[in-house]
C-alpha cells in the first residue's frame, strides 16, 4: 500500500493528516462568507418549508438518534446559530432554549426568521479585516474560556447547519415528506445570472 507522510491508514481507510501550520492559512474574503451564510439561510428556509408540510405528530415524533425529533432539531439549529452570533459579539450564553420555549410553528418561524435576519445583517457589514479577529468565549458545558479565529467560527456555523439539515431531511423523507437537494451548487444555480458571473 502506498504510504506518505501526509496520510495515516486505519482499517484500510485513509486519514489525511494536515501538514500545514495554522498560521499559513490564506485569509478568506468577507464576500466568501457573505455568500456562504446566504447559502445557509437559503437551505434552512427550504428545509423548514419541507418540515412545515408535515403533521404536528411527525414534527414532534421522538427519534432515538442525535438530538431527537424534528422539533428538537429545528430548535437546536436556530439556537446554536444565535449562540455563535452572540459569542462573536462578546456575549456568552449560559444555556440553550428547548422545545418548551418554542411550542408552536409560529414561535419557531418567528425566532428562526429573527436569527436569519441577524446573520444576514452581520455578514453584510463584515469586512475583510474583520476576518483577522480572534473571538474569546465561554464554553457552555464547563465554563472554560476558549479562543477561536472568526473564520473558523463562521466555517463551523455553516458546516454545522449542513450537518443538521441532512439529519432533518432524512427524517422528513422517512415520514413520506418532500425533500430537496441541499448541495451548495444548487443554491448557486438558483441565483440570478449576474450574481454568479
Q: Which residues partner with 10 through β-bridges?
A: 13
Q: What is this structure's pTM? A: 0.85
- CATH number of the domain at 27-195, out of 3.50.50.60, 1.20.120.450, 3.40.50.2300, 1.20.140.10? 1.20.120.450
* SS3 of 78-119: HHHHHHHHHHHCCCCCCCCCCHHHCCCHHHHHHHHHHHHHHH
pLDDT of 1 > 50? The answer is no
pLDDT tens digits along 125-163: 999 999 999 999 999 888 899 999 999 999 999 999 999
pLDDT the model gives residue 93: 83
pLDDT the model gives residue 23: 55
Q: Where are the domains of the chain?
A: 27-195
pLDDT tens digits along 25-50: 556 899 999 999 999 999 999 999 99
Amino acid at each position: 500500500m502506498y504510504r506518505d507522510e501526509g496520510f495515516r491508514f486505519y482499517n484500510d481507510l485513509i486519514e489525511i493528516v494536515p501538514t500545514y501550520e495554522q498560521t499559513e492559512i490564506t485569509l478568506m474574503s468577507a464576500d466568501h462568507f457573505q455568500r456562504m451564510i446566504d447559502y445557509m439561510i437559503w437551505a434552512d428556509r427550504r428545509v423548514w418549508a419541507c418540515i412545515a408540510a408535515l403533521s404536528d405528530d411527525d414534527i414532534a415524533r421522538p427519534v432515538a438518534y442525535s438530538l431527537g425529533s424534528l422539533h428538537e432539531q429545528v430548535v437546536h439549529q436556530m439556537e446554536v446559530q444565535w449562540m455563535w452570533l452572540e459569542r462573536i459579539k462578546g456575549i456568552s450564553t449560559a444555556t440553550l432554549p428547548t422545545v418548551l420555549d418554542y411550542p408552536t410553528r409560529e414561535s419557531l418561524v418567528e425566532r428562526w426568521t429573527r436569527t436569519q435576519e441577524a446573520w444576514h445583517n452581520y455578514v453584510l457589514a463584515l469586512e475583510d479585516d474583520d476576518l483577522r479577529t480572534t473571538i474569546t468565549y465561554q464554553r457552555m458545558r464547563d465554563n472554560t474560556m476558549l479562543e477561536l479565529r472568526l473564520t473558523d467560527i463562521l466555517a463551523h456555523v455553516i458546516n454545522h447547519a449542513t450537518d443538521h439539515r441532512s439529519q432533518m431531511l432524512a427524517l422528513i423523507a422517512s415520514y413520506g415528506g418532500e425533500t430537496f437537494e441541499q448541495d451548495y451548487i444548487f443554491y448557486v444555480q438558483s441565483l440570478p445570472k449576474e450574481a454568479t458571473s
